[in-house]
Amino acid sequence: MNKAEKSRKMSYKQRGLKQALPFLLPASILLFVFLIIPFFFAFYLSFTNTRLISPIPPRFVGFSNYVRMLGDDLFGKALLNNFYFVAIVVPLQTIFALFLAILVNQKIKGSTTFRTIYFLPTVTTMVVVAVIWTFLYHPEGTINAILSFITFGNWEPIDFLSTERIAFPTIMFLSIWQGVGFQMLIFLAGLQEIPESLYEAATIDGANKWKQFIYITLPQLKNTSIFVIISTTILAFKLFDQVYIMTSGGPNYSTYTVMLHIYNQGFRMQNVGYASSLTVIFFLIILGVSLIQRILLREEREVF
């Protein structure tokens, strides 16, 4: 690269930045006001004993909120549950979403209808979904009735949400069903980016559908998959609505999650200081997980 070329490229880059700034501004302001400032505020609050409603002026308590966390067995339990949830839901949801995306990407009649159907749960509010599924999961609800019907009455009705062993997997199932449409849509976009010519060439070379999937579709979808996995992981860590509505974290804390713990501590017990310290630690944990994922699944970027 000679000097002239270099300077041309620089000015090109600078010009790009100039044009990008006005477009970045609205989003940056929003991010700053609603994410970054509150986070620093939470960081500050985590070193105080601030309460939501209290005549006692808040004072600095150093690291005592963090020390308290070490002895908080519910936080530990919640954290384990969160990892359990992520470990099960992220792979299943990703594989299932890819499967659905390939399915609705076929050029057959009605595939748009199926895309809409699979996407519907995602656009329905989780709160509504959770309330409806609570009825479905009831011992006298639809799911038990269906299981009883297909087993010719040999099915013992299960109280899905009240049985310690089953409650969390039950919620996982619902969560996968609700969220999969979103990932499907991203995979679909990724699939449509793959040039048709690759498949044509493969067909000429005599590769069957399975080989095409392994050697063309999957590698071409690498960046999409990484995005899906990381965003699903973050979403999965935020698990709250379903457990709040369906079980309140029970039975015996088998569905208790960190977000629920933060909500209980901060809003219901009004312990804002302690809740803030939980938030900070939880943020660091999610950040760490995302970073590790990024290192393990190195994205292939096209160099500009």
Report the DSSP beta bridge partners of residue 48. 60
The verdict on 255 binding other proteins (CB under 8 A) reads: no
Binding residues for other proteins, how many (CB under 8 A)? 26
Q: From 256, 96, 81, 257, select the one nearest 173 (Cα to Cα).
A: 96
How far CA 181 is from CA of 69, 97, 98, in Å, comes to 36, 7, 10
User: Given candidates 7, 14, 54, 113, which one binds other proteins under the rule CB under 8 A?
Assistant: 54
Among 39, 69, 92, 138, binds other proteins (CB under 8 A): 138
277 is a site residue for other proteins (CB under 8 A): no
CB of 266 to other proteins, least distance (A): 11
Binding flag, residue 140, other proteins (CB under 8 A): yes
Q: How far is the CB of 52 from other proteins (least distance, A)?
A: 5
**169 near other proteins (CB under 8 A):** no
52 binds other proteins (CB under 8 A): yes
Cβ density class 208-237: b for 16+ within 10 Å, e for less: eeeebeeebbeebbeebbbbbbbebbbbbb
- Name the minimum Å distance from CB 252 to other proteins: 5
Our finding on whether 164 is near other proteins (CB under 8 A) is yes
The residue among 140 and 300 lying less far from other proteins, judged by its C-beta, is 140
In angstroms, what CA-CA distances link 285 with 60, 238, 278, 281?
24, 12, 11, 6
On the 0-12 / 13-18 / 19+ scale of CB atoms within 10 A, 173 is: middle
Q: Contact between 270 and other proteins (CB under 8 A)?
A: yes
Q: Which is nearer to other proteins, 192 or 252 (CB)?
A: 252
CA distance 41 to 51: 14
Backbone phi, then psi, for 130, in 5-degree steps?
-65, -40
* Distance from C-alpha of 32 to C-alpha of 60, rounded to nearest angstrom: 25
Which window, 33-41, 49-57, 76-84, 210-218, contacts other proteins (CB under 8 A)? 49-57
Among 215, 250, 290, 293, binds other proteins (CB under 8 A): 250
Spatial distance between the Cα atoms of 93 and 183, rounded to a whole number of angstroms = 8
- Beta carbon nearer to other proteins, 181 or 249: 249
- 133 part of the interface to other proteins, by CB under 8 A: no
Under the criterion CB under 8 A, does residue 159 sit at the interface with other proteins?
yes
Contact call for residue 251 and other proteins (CB under 8 A): yes
Q: Which is nearer to other proteins, 85 or 137 (CB)?
A: 137
> Which residues here bind other proteins, judged by CB under 8 A?
49, 51-56, 138-140, 159, 162, 164, 248-253, 264, 267-271, 274
